[in-house]
Structure 1
Amino acid sequence: MAFVYFTSPTMRKNKKVEAIAGKRNAILGLAEENGIKIPCECRDGECGSCLIKVTHLDGDRIKAVMLTDKERSVLKSIGKLPDFEAERASVEDIPPTYRLACQAIVTDEDLLVEFTGEPGGA
């Protein structure tokens, strides 16, 4: 079991949500199940509107599901995947700071998810 903490200027207060390991839910789905409104348009990793900033709270125990080619391309096109993070993600399996909520899968690690509430903002 892990917890995902959501924070945004559009929320009255931060929200802590229990994530069930093995459910393989995208962060966007988990947010929606708990009444948290992350902007999204395509739900398929093509537009970048569901951009989020993810902080892994378990230190050395990062278990995030890696980037798909589609997510990598979108993050690069909107300037949210610097070359050093792209290389680190490919070589060392360390996920980047910014992700697409519709593509990032929840694992059994605690996360802080930040978003602005504006499409494409994080």
Structure 2
Amino acid sequence: MANVTFSSKHTLPKDVTVYAVAGDRGTILSLAEKNKIPIPFECRDGECGSCLIEVVTLTGKTMGSALTEKEKSMLKSLGKITTAEIDNAVTNDVMPKYRLACQTIVRDQDILVKFAGDEPGGSE
């Protein structure tokens, strides 16, 4: 089990923590939807950047879920990730600071997910 805490100054009156079942293979966006957390999204496919989130590991070893090619491309175009950060994520299984909620699978670790909720591609 992992605790996922969602935080948004613009759309949540307080942080909301939910449990994510390890191995579920669900994305952060699907977990948010199941728990009525209003992360903005438009395409669900990693092509628009509207579900940009900032991820902070709270406990345990930092583990990344694989960056999809669409996610790499979108994060680079938004200026949220460098080639070196992509290489580090791939080589060392490290979660980069910024991700797309529609592409990121929850791993067995507690995380804080920050999102703006006020404009596509924005995060706090």
Pick the TM interval, shorter chain. over 0.9
Q: Among the aligned pairs, what percent are the same residue? A: 56
TM-score (norm 1): 0.93
Q: 2:103 aligns to what?
A: 103
Q: Aligned partners of 1:30, 1:52: CA distance in 2, in Å?
A: 14
Give aligned pairs, total: 121
CA distance in 2, matches of 1:14, 1:73: 30
Taking the aligned partners of 1:76 and 1:58, their CA distance within structure 2 comes to 27
Q: Residues 15-63 of structure 1, C-alpha deviation per residue, up to 9 Å, x if partnerless?
A: 000111111110000001101010100000111110000011124x123
Q: What's the TM-score, normalizing by structure 2?
A: 0.92
Which SS does the other structure have where 1:6 is aligned?
strand
- Give the CA RMSD over aligned residues: 1.1
Residues 1:49 and 2:46 are matched in the alignment: no
Query: Which structure 2 residue ranges, 5 or more long, are not aligned?
Result: none
Q: Which moved more, 1:29-38 or 1:86-95?
A: 86-95
Q: Distance in 1 between matches of 2:4 and 2:91?
A: 26
Q: Which amino acid in structure 2 is aligned with residue 13 of structure 1?
A: K
Counterpart Cα distance in 2 of 1:58 and 1:110: 6
Q: Which runs of 5+ in 1 are unaligned?
A: none
Matched to 2:88, the amino acid is R
Matches within 5 A, 1:71-110: 71-110=71-110
